Chains A and B, each alone.
Chain A
Amino acid sequence: GDSVTQMEGPVTLSEEAFLTINCTYTATGYPSLFWYVQYPGEGLQLLLKATKADDKGSNKGFEATYRKETTSFHLEKGSVQVSDSAVYFCALLNTGNQFYFGTGTSLTVIP
């Protein structure tokens, strides 16, 4: 079946460090891919998305590129801030309109 695998956390970085959170997926057809972020005490918020191969989603300095050849959608940010501390979820929406989420990766950014 369809699934999403993302790197285990927690991840701890110093402010201004480079961030990569890996995400790979398994799906038939051409799913849409998403990154959601969950700040403490809140629900999930859409961070960015890409709906077809080679698309790049970007928002708030975060980027992810839909790579069909490697079935990946890694999240990157060049310089993280303390306010980026949150849990990040990779997700796919398959052609049957079903969402699948990864387990989440907790990020803590220290000053």
Chain B
Amino acid sequence: ETGVTQTPRHLVMGMTNKKSLKCEQHLGHNAMYWYKQSAKKPLELMFVYNFKEQTENNSVPSRFSPECPNSSHLFLHLHTLQPEDSALYLCASSLGGGQGETQYFGPGTRLLVL
């Protein structure tokens, strides 16, 4: 148990559906992250929020829309996804800024797009 929870753990959706992934951290951290993990590829950083402000968007398609209402919660809204978006989506948090900072990961949401 790392103090970062994600729901749902598994999600199957069609290409026309709209769904949201939720992440919550109980560590008092100020930075939160979304990563995409695909087989045989490095983790891909998607979005970074620091003190609720988005500080990074790594050229992610607009069909992925993040939301960070407060430092403890992070959402990833999904709409009109493609089959190649099927992956494990990992949320992480860290203290916020600073050298040598450790990221704490949630268990991930396994997404399958049909």
Which residues of B in the span 71-89 have a Cβ within 8 Å of any Cβ on A? none
Does residue A4 face the partner (Cβ distance < 8 Å to B)?
Answer: yes
User: Count of A-B contacts with CB under 8 A?
Assistant: 52
Binds B, one of A11-19, A20-28, A74-82, A92-100: A92-100
Which range holds the interface residue count of chain B?
A: 20 to 34
Chain B residue nearest in CB terms to A3: B42
Chain B residue nearest in CB terms to A49: B102
**Contacts known (A43-B4, A43-B105); A4 close to B42, Cβ less than 8 A:** yes
**Contacts known (A99-B45, A102-B42); A43 close to B2, Cβ less than 8 A:** yes
Secondary structure of the A contact surface, majority rule: strand
Find out whether the CB atom of B42 lies under 8 angstroms from the CB atom of A100: yes
Does residue B69 face the partner (Cβ distance < 8 Å to A)?
Answer: no
Find out whether the CB atom of B104 lies under 8 angstroms from the CB atom of A46: yes
Listed residue (B4, B99, B107) with the most chain A CB atoms within 10 angstroms of its CB:
B99
Question: CB-CB < 8 A to A98: which residues of B?
Answer: 45, 56
Question: Which of A41, A45, A100, A104 contacts B105, CB < 8 Å?
Answer: A45
Does residue A88 face the partner (Cβ distance < 8 Å to B)?
Answer: no
A interface residues, how many (CB within 8 angstroms): 23
Find out whether the CB atom of A43 lies under 8 angstroms from the CB atom of B107: yes
Does residue A110 face the partner (Cβ distance < 8 Å to B)?
Answer: no
Closest CB-CB distance, B49 to chain A, in whole Å? 13
In the assembly, what is the distance between CA of A4 and CA of B92, in Å? Answer: 19
5 examples of A-B residue contacts, CB within 8 angstroms = A45-B105, A95-B99, A97-B97, A99-B103, A103-B42
Besides A43-B90, A44-B90, A51-B100, 17 other A-B contacts (C-beta < 8 A): A4-B42, A32-B100, A42-B107, A42-B108, A43-B4, A43-B92, A43-B107, A44-B92, A44-B105, A46-B103, A49-B100, A51-B99, A93-B99, A95-B99, A97-B101, A98-B56, A103-B41
